[in-house]
């Protein structure tokens, strides 16, 4: 079930002071394990088992699991740059970030997925309390603090607007939905769970994640093993 964004915003959210890593090529990057192309679970089975999960165990994610989820979201599937999710005019306005709290072999912090190289680029360092700050920015939804990682789907509308004008916002939101479904089904295939969270304070989430100018947070997806 989609958590509705039409909830009152909460004032006074305490934000974690993060140390912002340099942008672009100067960022430290983490090579992810190669994605599996045959998980052994049929698409029909993942569709049948998909449910919204809001309670997570204390179990950590492996780097391979996180990499598989990121690949499902926006992984490169062809030499010409085509990806796992469709994009109007191949404008690719969707970005995928990860707020990592308990991922084996990965320091806590905020990372941006780099589709072309299947890497994570560190955006900001932070302690495990970062996910708690994210939960408070999302109107106190505790599953964001409980999950070992939160996948964040963002959009840069201007990439699409240059070609499609006023319809760009619609196309970006459609693409975000496609990405979210990919992540949801991949989570089931990995024995994990997730839920779509759309109720949050845009400005506070953008600040926490050090989003680029013109980049809009669209969905938060806590992911982990169900408790």
Helix, strand or coil, per DSSP, at residue 38: coil
Contact at 8 Å (CB) between 188 and 50?
A: yes
> Distances in Å between the alpha carbon of 219 and those of 26, 31, 81, 190, 216?
27, 25, 24, 21, 10
The answer to whether the predicted template modeling score (pTM) of the entire model surpasses 0.85 is yes
Taking the C-alpha atoms of residue 146 and residue 18, their distance in angstroms, rounded to an integer, is: 20
pLDDT tens for the 227 residues of the chain, in order: 444 433 333 333 333 334 444 343 334 899 999 999 998 899 999 999 999 999 999 999 999 999 999 999 999 999 999 999 999 999 999 999 999 999 999 999 999 999 999 999 999 887 668 999 999 999 999 999 999 999 999 999 999 999 999 999 999 999 999 999 999 999 999 999 999 999 999 999 999 999 999 999 999 999 999 99
pLDDT value of residue 201: 98
Domains of the chain and any CATH numbers: 61-224 (3.40.109.10)
Which residue in 100, 149, 91, 157 sits closest to 123, CA to CA?
100
| CA distances (Å), origin 211, targets 18, 167, 208 | 13, 23, 8
pLDDT at 125: 82
């Amino acid at each position: 079930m989609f958590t509705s964004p039409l909830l009152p915003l909460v004032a006074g959210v305490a934000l974690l002071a993060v140390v912002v890593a340099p942008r672009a090529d100067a960022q430290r990057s983490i090579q992810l394990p190669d994605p599996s192309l045959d998980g052994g679970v049929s698409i029909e089975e993942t569709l049948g088992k998909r449910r919204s999960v809001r309670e997570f165990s204390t179990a950590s994610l492996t780097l391979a699991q996180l990499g598989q989820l990121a690949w499902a979201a926006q992984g490169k599937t062809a030499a010409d740059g085509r990806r796992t999710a469709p994009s109007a005019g191949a404008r690719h306005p969707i970005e995928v970030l990860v707020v990592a709290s308990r991922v084996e072999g990965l320091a806590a912090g905020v990372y941006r997925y780099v589709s072309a190289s299947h890497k994570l680029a560190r955006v900001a360092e932070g302690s495990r309390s970062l996910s708690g700050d994210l939960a408070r920015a999302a109107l106190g939804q505790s599953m964001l603090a409980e999950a070992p990682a939160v996948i964040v789907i963002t959009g840069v509308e201007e990439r699409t607007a240059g070609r499609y004008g006023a319809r760009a916002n619609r196309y970006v939101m459609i693409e975000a939905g496609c990405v979210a479904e990919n992540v949801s089904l991949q989570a089931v295939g990995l024995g994990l769970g997730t839920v779509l969270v759309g109720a949050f304070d845009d400005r506070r989430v953008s600040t926490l994640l050090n989003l680029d100018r013109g980049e809009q947070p669209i969905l938060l997806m806590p992911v982990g093993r169900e408790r």
